[in-house]
Structure 1
Amino acid sequence: MNLEVMLLLYAYDHHGKLCSLYQLSRQRIEQMRHEVTYFCPTCKEALQIRSGRHHIPHFAHFPDSQCERNSQGESDDHESGKWLLYKWLKYQGYNVEIEYFVKEINQRPDLFFTSGDKRQIAVEFQCSTIPPDIIEKRTNSYYKAGIFPLWIVGNRHFQRKGKNLLLHTSFHRSLLYYFHHSYCMYYLNVNAQSVIIVDHILGFTHSYCFGRPRSYSLDSITFPQLFAPSASPSTPYIYFWEKQLYKLRTFYQRSVGTEERQWRQFLYLKGKHFSLIPSVCFLPVPSQSTCSIKAYMWQTKFVLEHFMEVRIGNIIKLGRNKCLTVNRYQADPVQEYLQLLGQMGFVAHTSNGSWVKRKEITFPTHITQALEEDKKVMNVLRNILYTHNNVSL
C-alpha cells in the first residue's frame, strides 16, 4: 500500500490518550519516537512513527499487520479532517471517540459522541465518492441502532459555477438533510479548517443545483449551530429557471442521455414535441433537489398520464415519487407540484386530502405561443412564491 494514500495521523498512547502528529514540529516528532508505544484506534495493534522529507509525518502499521484499515486506505484529507472534527467537538466539551466500534451494527463511524440532549451521534466524514445505496444502508443501520448520522462531505465535492450554482450528483442527493423548510448539506474544508453549510438547495439540472453556501471557521461555530435556522436567500433563482425553460424551447440538443431520449420518445408516441410542453410542466418544486429526473420530464409525464386523462371535477390519481433525506424527511415532489398547480387554479385540494381537477392544461401549438405562455406563468409563479413565501427562489 502506497504510504501517500495510507496515512494515520493519530493513535492512542499507553495511557489511552489520543495523540496526533498533526502540525507538530520535526523535533517533537523525533522525541515521540522514543517516548512510548502507540496503538491503532481501529485494531489496537502497536504502531510505528514515520516521518521524512517526502511524506507527511504519520503513524503506520508494521508489515505483518492484519488491520482492516490497511485494506481500506484513507487519504490525508480524510485523516486530517477526522482529527480537526475530533478537536472541534472535544473543545466544546463532548466526550468524542474516533472510530468507535458500534457492535450491534458492525460499523465504525469516523467520530462518535453523545450530544447535550443525550442523543447518540455518528459523524461520517466522506471524502471519496461512494454509491448512494451504500450511504442509505449505513444510514439505515445507524437509525436502527438509535444513532443520528451526520454526513460531512470533503471539500473536493464542493464545486460551483458562479455564486449559487453548485455540483449536485446522485452522490450529493443521497446526503441531503431537511431542516427548517430547507434542504441542506455539510462540507469540511480541511486546509481552511472551515465548515461550509449549503442550504436552500433547489434541484436545477441533472448535475447542478441552486444553493446558498455559508462558510464558517471551526473556531467560530458550534455543533448545535450546524442545525440552526437561517434567513432565506435573496438571490432570484426563478430568473435562472426561466432561462433554462427558454433554452429547452429554442436550443436543440442532439446528444442527450438515455432518460432524455426515452422522454422525447414518450412525447413523440403521444403526438407531442418536447419543445412545446406546457409552461406548467416546468415548475420549481422545493424537493426537486432529491430527484434524479429533471423537473420538466417527470412533470410532463405526470400531466399526460395522471392529469389530462381525468375529466374536470374528478379526482386525480397520484403516482409514487417520494424520497427520503438523511434525517428521514419524506420529500414528496408530486404533492408540492400539485400545490403550485392549485395556486394557479388547475386543481383544488379536498377535505379528505385528494386533488380534484379544475381546468385543463393544454399544449401550445407553436413556439411563439409557448414563449408567451412561459412569461405569463413565470410572472404568476413569482407572485405566488414571493407573496406566500412558499419557496426560496
Structure 2
Amino acid sequence: MNRNYLRNQLLELRNREQFYCPQCKEPVQLKIGHVMIPHFAHKKQSNCQQSFSEGETAIHLLGKSQLYEMFRKLHLNVHLEPYLPALSQRPDLLVEKKQQQFAIEFQCSTIPIPQIESRTSGYLQANIIPIWILKTPKDKQPYVDGIQQVKLSPFKQQFISYTQSHPQMITFNPETSTFLYFSHLLPIGGYRYIANVRHLSLDTQHFPFLNVTDPSEEEFFLYWQIWKRNRQQFLKKRLFLSKKGIQDPFLRACYFMRCHVENLPIFIGIPVSKTSNFSVCEAEWQMIWLMFLSEQGYNLDYLSSYIINEFTKRYPLLFINKHAEDSLRNYHKIIQKLSITQLNSKFDETALYQYVYVQFLAKL
C-alpha cells in the first residue's frame, strides 16, 4: 500500500467535503496525521458519547469515502455510518432507493464467518438488503478480464451474492478506484471456481450494482474446457488420495460399475448446480448415485422421490443442504435427454455440452 498516495487522497477529500456525526449530527473532523491512522473525531466542545470509525485502516476509510461519493453522484440518499438502534448495528453506508434500504459493508479485514452471518441476518430481519463488498485481494497474479479459474477461500465465499440470477462476488480497490466482478461463478471442487472476471471503474458503476450479461454459448465453451481439464486432473489424483480403499464410497462405486477411475464417461462429473450442495465433487456423488440405481435394479435414467429418499438415508454425509435433491433432478434431466441407461451408452458430447449450458443459464 502506498501510504503517501492514500494520505494525499484523504487530504483532498477533507478539503472538498464536510463530515457529520451520524449520531448527534454535529460536524466532525477528519484527522490525517503521521502517527495515528486517519480517523474522524468530534470537536472538543462536543458532548456526544458516540464514537465511530474506531480502529479502521486508511484504506477502509478511503474506500468508504469513495463509495459515499459514488452514491451521492448517483443522486441517492446515502448515510455514512448511521447507527441503527433497533439492530445495535452500524453499517459503513446506508443507501435508500425507491423506499428500499441497502446496508453497504466494505470489508477490508478477515472477521469470523458467524459475525458476517449474524449481521446479515439482522439486516434482513429489519427489511434492509445487505450488500457486502470485499476489498480486492492482493493475489500473487493480478486478475485480468476474461473467463478463468479462481480460488475463493471459505471466508471469501461468504461474499458471494445469490440475490441476482447468477452467483457473483464484487470487490473494490480504493487505490485504483476500481470494482472487480467475479460473475457467473461455477464451483468445480474445493476452493476452485470458474468465473468471468471483469474490472469496472468507480465512475461507471450503477446501483443496484451492474449485472454482467450472460456468457454466449461460445464463451461458455471456455468454461467447458476449464471444467474438463480440472475433472481429468482430479480423477487422475483421486485414486491416490483415498486412504479407505474399497471402503471409499466413490472407489467402491467404480469397482461395482467395473469402470476405472480415469476412464469415467464424460457425463459423470458434469456441473449441474451453481452452488456446492454436496460434500464431495460432482464426479463422486454422481458415480455413487448411478451405482445406487444399479444396485436397486433401475436403469441409470430412473428417478423417483422414493429412490431419492432411500439414497439420502444410505449416504446422509453426502448432502450439505436441501438443494442437493435439486441437483439430482437436474442431473437426471440431462441423463434422460441423452437417453443414457448404462455407463457404455453412446451419446453426443456436443448435445451434452448444450444441455449443461442451458442448465448453467437457468435462474436460481
- TM-score category by the smaller chain? 0.7 to 0.9
Q: Which amino acid aligns with 2:225?
A: Y
User: Once the two structures are superposed, what CA deviation does each residue of 1:359-383 show, in whole Å capped at 9, x if it has no partner?
Assistant: 34x4x8xxxxxxxx9x967444224
Query: What is the CA-CA distance between 1:335 and the residue it aligns to?
Result: 3.2
Structure 1 residue 45: deviation in Å? Answer: 10
- 1:391 pairs, out of 337, 360, 364, with 360
2:68 equivalent in structure 1: 86
Q: Report the TM-score, using the length of structure 1 for normalisation.
A: 0.67
The change in CA–CA distance for 1:314 and 1:235 in structure 2 (over 3 A counts) is: closer
Q: From the superposition, tell whether residues 177 and 309 of structure 1 become closer, same or farther in structure 2 (CA, over 3 Å).
A: farther
Which residue of the partner structure matches residue 108 of structure 2? 127
Tell me what 1:99 maps to: 81
> What is aligned with 1:171?
155
Aligned length: 330
Q: Where in structure 2 are there 5+ consecutive unaligned residues?
A: 44-48, 313-318
- How many Å separate the matches in 2 of 1:69 and 1:383? 51
Same amino acid, percent of matched pairs = 24
For the residue of structure 2 that corresponds to 1:215, the secondary structure is strand
1:187 aligns with 171
Q: Is the 8 A contact 1:160 1:166 kept in 2?
A: no
For 1:334-353, what aligned pairs fall within 5 Å after superposition?
334-346=328-340
1:22: how far off? 1.7
Q: C-alpha distance in 1, partners of 2:116/2:348?
A: 38
Contact 2:185 2:195 in 1 (8 A): yes
Q: Deviation digits for residues 241-281 of structure 1, max 9, x if unmatched?
A: 22223223445685x5xxx6579823345573644555433
Which residue is 1:356 aligned to?
Answer: none
Change in 2 beyond 3 A, CA 1:172/1:50? closer
- Quote how far apart the aligned CAs of 1:284 are: 1.4
Q: Letter of the aligned partner of 1:280 in structure 2?
A: F
Q: 1:286: Cα distance to partner?
A: 3.5
* Distance in 2 between residues matched to 1:285 and 1:21, nearest whole Å: 46
For the residues of structure 1 that align with 2:91 and 2:13, how far apart are their CA atoms? Answer: 29
Cα gap change, 1:253/1:172 in structure 2, threshold over 3 Å: closer, same or farther?
A: farther
Q: Aligned letter for 1:203?
A: P
- State the AA in 2 paired with 1:245: R
Whether the aligned pair in 1 keeps the contact of 2:11 and 2:32 (CA below 8 Å) is: no
Q: Please point out which of 1, 10, 15 is paired with 1:22.
A: 10
**Structure 1 contact 202–211 (Cα < 8 Å) conserved:** yes
Change (3 A) 1:94 1:279: same
In structure 2, the partner of 1:294 is: 281
Q: Secondary structure at the match of 2:67?
A: helix
What TM-score does the superposition give when structure 2 sets the normalisation length? 0.72
| CA-CA distance at 1:222 after TM superposition | 1.8
- The answer (yes or no) to whether the contact 2:250–2:284 under 8 Å persists in 1 is no
What is the alpha-carbon distance in structure 2 between the residues aligned to residue 268 and residue 136 of structure 1? 36
Q: 1:98 & 1:140 partners in 2: Cα distance?
A: 21
Residue 323 of structure 1 deviates from its aligned partner by 7.0
- Going from structure 1 to structure 2, the CA distance change for 1:290 and 1:144 (only over 3 Å counts) comes to same
How does 1:67-86 map onto structure 2 within 5 Å? 67=51, 70=54, 73-86=55-68
Q: 5+ unaligned residues in a row in structure 1: which ranges?
A: 10-19, 325-329, 347-358, 365-372
Note if contact 2:239-2:261 (Cα within 8 Å) is conserved in structure 1.
Answer: no
Specify which of 352, 355, 364 is matched with residue 381 of structure 1. Answer: 352
